[in-house]
Amino acid sequence: MAATLTALLSGTAFAAPFSLPPLPYANDALEPAIDAQTMEIHHDKHHKAYVDNVNAKVAEFPELGKQPIEKILASITQYDTAVRNNAGGHYNHSLFWTTLAPVGKGGEPDAKLAAQIKKDFGSHSAFTEQFTKAASTNFGSGWTWLIKRSDGSLAIVATANQDNPLMDTEKTRGTPLLGLDTWEHAYYLKYQNKRPDYIKAWWTVVNWKEVNRRFAE
């Protein structure tokens, strides 16, 4: 499994109490793909709410602050819906920020990842088409993921709400390498109901350097 987000964020995001990790760039750094106001609201309001809400559950479930977030998610059926939604939201968004980079700064899939994409999807263009379709057709609020399964293969999966492929509620499980937030709050200010336009723009700000690093681990 890839290194924990605890390690990726120097322990700030998932120590007890949980904390909101800072964005690794300015609010306007992803323009024109994602506008500054959306980034500010998405990070400072929505993500912060997940942090606050999961912190409120630590008194009821003290073990939440004593183990890696991946372990919590892997046994999420042991917890109530509030933990599932808010721990999931905290993990998902913490990963989301790291897999974004300003236009032209995110690099490309490296040789190893590119070879695995070709093996599992046929080509990079076929992969992007399949991922885009999954994200476009994921009904309601949710996420679309590129994951690395335990056998090293890649898969595209979609989840509802703040669920993710680490959770023991999911049929197809694996380590998330790349995740796309398709909740309306992630794009509505700029794109309104045009989710396909948001997805097309999002491809221009994918941080493949981070995806490569996660795949290598």
Residue ranges per structural domain of the chain: 35-217
Tell me the H-state helices in 12-80.
36-41, 48-55, 69-74
**Count of helix runs (H) and strand runs (E) in the chain:** 10, 3
The identity of residue 143, as a single letter, is: W
Topology (CATH level 3) of domain 35-217: minor pseudopilin epsh fold (3.55.40)
The residues, ordered by sequence, that sit 6+ positions from 52 with a Cβ below 8 Å of its Cβ are none
- The pLDDT value given to residue 66: 85
Strands 154-160 and 175-181: unpaired
Report the candidate in 82, 92, 80, 103 with the shortest Cα–Cα distance to residue 32. 103
The backbone region for 119, taken as left when phi is positive above 0, alpha when psi lies in -120 to 50, beta otherwise, is: alpha
CA angle at 59 for the pair 53 and 64, rounded to the nearest 5°: 75
Backbone angles phi, psi at 130, to 5 degrees: -65, -40
What's the pLDDT tens digit per position in 114-155? Answer: 999 999 999 999 999 999 999 999 999 999 999 999 999 999
Q: What is the pLDDT along the chain (217 residues), one digit of tens a residue?
A: 334 444 444 344 445 578 999 999 999 999 999 999 999 999 999 999 999 999 999 989 998 888 888 999 999 999 999 999 999 999 999 999 999 999 999 999 999 999 999 999 999 999 999 999 999 999 999 999 999 999 999 999 999 999 999 999 999 999 999 999 999 999 999 999 999 999 999 999 999 999 999 999 8
Here the tokens at position 122 are: 């046929």
CA distance 110 to 22: 27
